[in-house]
């Protein structure tokens, strides 16, 4: 369907849903075009043939209209609604156990992604936290739980390769989760027009092994140290809204 490579556990569900919507509506479109074409030929002007007029209010016309509406509703709408429900449940409805997931906090602002890791104690807001800019490192094969909170306007955390898109709002914590199945470097984009330099909100998600991620976090913390200013901003926003 022309999507970027799927590097997540649940992405294929969304791709399949999109595929179903595409093929079902394509079939309906082709059926309508075929009927129109048939009518053009069947009722074309011929010498000696007079036009007939109808209000379309007869029993046959009524049954045909209701039958078509029912066929479209059951064949397309109901079908997609049921599958959509299953996909929504897998992608959004059943978050992983926070105790087992890899947790990060993403705090976008005009026009960067601030990313916070809890450190070895697994708690945010402690001395061993690490905050980085535009670089997200997560392990493969384990659910990643992302807590989102904007530091200014509405942004949207978009991971095209993981089929994840979640708004980040000021004053409210939203969550997103995914599980990476392939290692590599992927793009993070902002999917909400958030200002003049919205296009600059480009980050990178690096998927590696558990050891690689732990090593990167330890090394980066040593190099840059924890950014306490961001931590204070996060807790201040939390206090204002809770």
Question: Is 203 or 208 the residue whose CB approaches Cu ion more closely?
Answer: 203
Question: Is 180 or 201 the residue whose CB approaches Cu ion more closely?
Answer: 201
Tell me how far, at minimum, the Cβ of 191 lies from Cu ion, in Å: 8
Question: Is 151 or 213 the residue whose CB approaches Cu ion more closely?
Answer: 151
Cβ pair 154, 168 in contact under 8 A: yes
CA distance 71 to 66: 9
Could you give the angle at the alpha carbon of 221 between the alpha carbons of 216 and 222, nearest 5°? 100
DSSP H helices, 43-58, are none
The DSSP bridge partners found for residue 103 are 145
C-alpha distances in angstroms, 211 versus 118, 175, 214? 16, 25, 5
| 237 part of the interface to Cu ion, by CB under 5 A | no
Question: Is 13 or 151 the residue whose CB approaches Cu ion more closely?
Answer: 151
Q: Which stretch binds Cu ion (CB under 5 A): 30-38, 152-160, 210-218, 227-235?
A: 152-160
CA distance 106 to 113: 7
Which of 155, 161, 163, 221: binder of Cu ion (CB under 5 A)?
A: 155
Question: Is 107 or 190 the residue whose CB approaches Cu ion more closely?
Answer: 190
First to last CA, the chain: 42
Stretch 188-217: interaction string toward Cu ion, x if CB under 5 A: --x---x------x----------------
Tell me which residues in 16-75 interact with Cu ion (CB under 5 A): none
What are the residues binding Cu ion (CB under 5 A)? 155, 190, 194, 201
């Amino acid at each position: 369907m022309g999507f970027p490579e799927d590097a997540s556990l649940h992405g294929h569900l969304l791709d399949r849903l999109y595929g179903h919507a595409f093929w079902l509506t394509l079939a309906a479109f082709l059926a309508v075009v075929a009927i129109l074409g048939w009518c053009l030929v069947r009722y074309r002007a011929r010498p000696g043939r007079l036009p007939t007029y109808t209000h379309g209010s007869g029993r046959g016309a009524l049954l045909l209209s209701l039958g078509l509406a029912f066929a479209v509703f059951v064949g397309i709408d109901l079908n997609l609604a049921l599958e959509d429900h299953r996909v929504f449940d897998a992608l959004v409805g059943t978050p992983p156990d926070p105790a087992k997931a890899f947790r990060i906090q993403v705090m976008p602002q005009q026009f960067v992604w601030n990313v916070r890791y809890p450190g070895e104690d697994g708690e945010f807001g402690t001395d061993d936290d690490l905050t980085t800019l535009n670089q997200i490192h997560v392990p493969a094969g384990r659910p990643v739980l992302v807590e989102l909170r904007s530091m200014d306007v509405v942004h949207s955390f978009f991971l095209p390769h993981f089929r994840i898109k979640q708004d980040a709002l000021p004053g409210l914590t939203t969550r997103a989760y995914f599980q990476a199945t392939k290692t590599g470097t992927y793009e993070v984009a902002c999917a909400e027009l958030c200002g003049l330099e919205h296009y600059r909100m480009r980050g990178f998600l690096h998927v590696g092994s558990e050891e690689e991620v732990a090593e990167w976090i330890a090394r980066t913390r040593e190099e840059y140290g924890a950014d306490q200013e961001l931590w204070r901003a996060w807790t201040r926003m939390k206090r204002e809204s809770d």
